[in-house]
């Protein structure tokens, strides 16, 4: 956001309900309400010609927003390391991850949430478990703080929301230029059942695969990502475009 704002774009971030500086409501921690929360924000600010960008679970929010509210306020969209179309392995989605993976995440969160976030950050999220990785303690601490700041019930519910929600029909409703970016070494949201599948469902989409990039490429590959996003925004000369970004 700092980079794009420095290049003349108005950047707006929201904290998903239960996360960041949001309140921590017991209910509504699922994709329909997440998408409606975005719609409420965009309507309140009367955003037009917006570029809606979502990272990871935020990509699901973007997809469900378009599925429920359309693109009348949008000029473009972008999905970064995003969970659509569906993370869970099913008969119709054999490339997804088995439910045991997500049950393990839930168990880790309940048993020792702080430890779970630290191990996730120091391991697969940023690819720091790879032999050649340059580990950043700062990134680990930042990720842990983001996680522990969120409500326990909210994050627990969010696991089901990002893993079991099927966004296939939402993606078919995209009718604005869409940029899809994913790392081919994403150990959290494997690229095969995510970006590669989404790019086949979204009309007028551009897929960019970052070689060797992990899930958290927003930090590990931020210069490359910044350049690609800026190029994407400039392509249609969207001067003064509204850019609601997901803070995560």
Element (H, E) at 208: strand 205-210
Question: Residue 88 pairs with which residues in a beta bridge?
Answer: 97
215 an active-site residue? yes
Which one is catalytic: 56, 81, 109, 199? 56
Which one is catalytic: 157, 215, 221, 228? 215
The one-character DSSP state at 88 is: B
Which one is catalytic: 37, 170, 186, 228? 186
- In angstroms, what CA-CA distances link 134 with 138, 174, 223? 12, 37, 16
Buried b (16+ CB within 10 A) or exposed e, 235-248: eeebeebbbbbbeb
186 an active-site residue? yes
14 an active-site residue? no
Strand order in the sheet with 10-14: 10-14, 242-246, 50-55, 74-80, 178-183, 205-210
Q: How many CB atoms lie within 10 A of CB 8?
A: 12
Distance CA 195, CA 207 (A): 8
What residues are annotated to the active site? 56, 186, 215
């Amino acid at each position: 956001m700092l980079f794009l704002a420095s290049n003349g774009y108005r950047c707006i971030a929201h904290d998903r309900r239960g996360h960041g500086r949001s309140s921590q409501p017991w209910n509504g921690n699922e994709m329909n309400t997440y998408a409606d929360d975005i719609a409420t924000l965009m309507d309140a600010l009367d955003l037009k010609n917006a570029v809606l960008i979502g990272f990871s679970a935020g990509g699901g929010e973007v997809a469900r927003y378009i599925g429920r509210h359309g693109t009348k306020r949008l000029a473009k969209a972008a999905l970064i390391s995003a969970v659509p179309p569906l993370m869970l392995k099913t008969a119709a989605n054999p490339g997804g991850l088995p439910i045991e993976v997500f049950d393990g995440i839930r168990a880790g969160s309940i048993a020792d949430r702080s430890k779970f976030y630290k191990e996730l950050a120091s391991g697969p999220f940023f690819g720091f478990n790879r032999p050649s990785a340059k580990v950043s303690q700062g990134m680990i601490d930042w990720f842990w703080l983001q996680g522990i700041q969120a409500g326990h019930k909210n994050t627990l519910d969010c696991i089901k929301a990002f893993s079991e929600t099927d966004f296939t029909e939402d993606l078919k409703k995209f009718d604005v230029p869409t940029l899809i970016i994913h790392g081919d070494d994403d150990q959290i949201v494997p690229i095969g059942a995510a970006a590669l599948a989404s790019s086949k469902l979204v009309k007028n989409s551009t897929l960019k695969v970052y070689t060797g990039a992990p899930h958290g490429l927003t930090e590990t590959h931020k210069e490359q990502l910044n350049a690609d996003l800026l190029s994407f925004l400039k392509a249609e000369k969207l001067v003064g475009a509204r850019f609601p970004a997901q803070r995560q």
